Amino acid sequence: MRTNSLIIKGINSSLSNRTGQWSSRQAEIDPKKCIKCHQCFLYCPEGCVEILEDGKNVRVNKDYCKGCGVCAVECSVKAIKIISNL
């Protein structure tokens, strides 16, 4: 059986491919719910969650987020949602 699919290999592969440009889903952090534990930063397989200059707040780099949902699963307070870009 033959399928037509795109495979991006390797850790941090989205950083060289700007995955967020074509991904149909992306992570969105609710700053009011976020407790600044940085678990999302630690678990993001693509390194798309960034700690801001204040050392506390985080943001998702939308250019590279592929919407895999790992950060949302690991967030203990459910401050992260995976939203559709469609």
Would you say residue 71 has pLDDT above 50? yes
From the list 42, 51, 35, the residue with the least C-alpha distance to 70 is 42
CA angle at 10 for the pair 23 and 49, rounded to the nearest 5°: 55
pLDDT (tens digit, 9 = 90+) per residue, 6-50? 444 555 555 566 766 677 899 999 999 999 999 999 999 989 999
| Domains detected in the chain | 18-84 (3.30.70.20)
Q: pTM of the predicted model, to two decimals? A: 0.76
